Amino acid sequence: MSIDADRLWRRIEALSKLTDPDRPWTRRSFRPRFLEGREWLAAEFRTAGLATGIDAGGNLVGRLAGADPSLKPIILGSHSDTVPSGGRYDGILGVLAGLEVAQSFIERGDRLRHSLEIYDFLAEEPSEFGLSCIGSRALAGALTGAQLAMTRPDGMTLREGIAYVGGRPDELGSVRRGPDSVAAYVEVHIEQGRVLENEGVAIGVVTDIVGIRRERITITGRADHAGATPMPLRADALVGAAKLIEAAYQRASARSRDAQPLVATVGRIEVSPNAANAVPGEAVLILEARSGDEAAVKLFGETLVRDLTPELAKLRLHVASEPISSVSPTACAPAVRAAIAQAAASLGLSSREMPSGAGHDGMFVAAAGPIGMIFVPCRDGRSHAPEEAIEPHQAADGARVLAETVRLLDATLG
């Protein structure tokens, strides 16, 4: 199964360059630049010969009808939104590889038994609403009323955001795929780590995706004048935040050699009054924990806050936490993993099994059917950073393995 490697790379370069000019490579979901990228993608979907539209959950979907309408669809895809200043290949590789595979089948005149659906899932990256994987949550029927009511700093609700990108939040039931409604979901993605590059292996066959839990931790003290308030009388919320962040770092580091390592990150802090001459009266942190050990992920933030509460109380600080989102570890299906490994071998490409330390839309698509992921190396393992980079032949390898995997699954799955 051949693909047009040059066309794939041209598309990757074209989409990646649709970026906020002062922050390459940035296309934040629910913003005008994201819509610009979506318009470009939709045009490419239609040019390739796919029936194209935005579903009620705000996902861009291209469909290639199969020969047997009674069969469940095979889904390919990923996302086109990015984190700030990072994401030149993260996400868009999976969308454009899926598009290239579909177009290659069309051009060869090979009609699959199963329908093929290519997804650009809405907002896989953490959005300004505090939620990630919004489009795939919609597909799984996992968007709650409370989540739709979440607001971003300018007051827009997630419900309004979905409508802004062309979705229909009042019709989310039409998007939901029930259990066993998808034949398979396969996604190509950069590894976001160093294993493949260090070992000189071309393809990673993902075994499982880690569980991820995010919670909002609020530390409340008292805002005071920074010059007139003596140190012993302060209730500095940011000092408390620093202690909590340090404790999270140390506790996660202590698990680095566990069979199921845990990583923890405080990647977002809001401080008020946020003035150089004011003692911080409140600090709001987003704590994220990830591991293949679901119980450890659930307990990490809970025990951290509980254990730090007495120490923070001595500083006249109050601490409270609330969950934002939690996703269980997700296993990739053995049949899909086997097809990926067979596809790589048939193309003369080395492969190895490996877990994914990053979250992906497949965590939610797994509620509708078996999933699998194909990793390709990225330079120095860098991702979510401006330095994120892959080579054209690596993108082509991922697409070639994807095409052969689809051919194998189409022949073997019911």
Cα 195 from Cα 218, distance rounded (Å): 37
- Residue 243: give the domain boundaries: 211-327
Residue 369: Cβ-neighbour burial (10 angstroms; 0-12, 13-18, 19+):
buried
Please tell me whether residue 144 adopts helix, strand or coil conformation. Answer: coil
**Tally of domains in the chain:** 2
- 48 and 149 both lie in a single domain: yes
Q: Which of 277, 311, 327 is the last residue of a domain?
A: 327
CATH number of the domain bearing residue 234: 3.30.70.360
pLDDT in tens, 47-63: 999 999 999 999 999 99
Would you place residue 130 in the very low, low, confident or very high pLDDT band (cuts 50, 70, 90)? confident
- 89 and 12 both lie in a single domain: yes
- 167 and 40 both lie in a single domain: yes
Q: Which of 273, 292, 327 is the last residue of a domain?
A: 327
pLDDT in tens, 178-228: 999 999 999 999 999 999 999 999 999 999 999 999 999 999 999 999 999
Q: How far is CA 110 from CA 101, 297, 396, in A?
A: 11, 45, 20
Query: What are the b/e assignments for 56-73, b being 16+ CB within 10 Å?
Result: bbbbbbbbbebeeeebbb
The two tokens of residue 288 are: 């994220």
CATH number of the domain bearing residue 106: 3.40.630.10
In the predicted model, what is the mean pLDDT of residues 84-94? 95
pLDDT in tens, 231-288: 999 999 999 999 999 999 999 999 999 989 999 999 999 999 999 999 999 999 999 9
pLDDT in tens, 352-362: 999 999 999 99
Predicted confidence at residue 217, as pLDDT, reads 98
Predicted confidence at residue 113, as pLDDT, reads 98
- 78 and 115 both lie in a single domain: yes
- 316 and 343 both lie in a single domain: no
- 18 and 109 both lie in a single domain: yes
- 267 and 250 both lie in a single domain: yes
Residue 279: Cβ-neighbour burial (10 angstroms; 0-12, 13-18, 19+):
buried
- 201 and 178 both lie in a single domain: yes
pTM recorded for the entire structure: 0.88
- 171 and 61 both lie in a single domain: yes
Q: Which helix (H) or strand (E) holds 103?
A: helix 92-108
Predicted confidence at residue 87, as pLDDT, reads 86
Please tell me whether residue 169 adopts helix, strand or coil conformation. Answer: helix
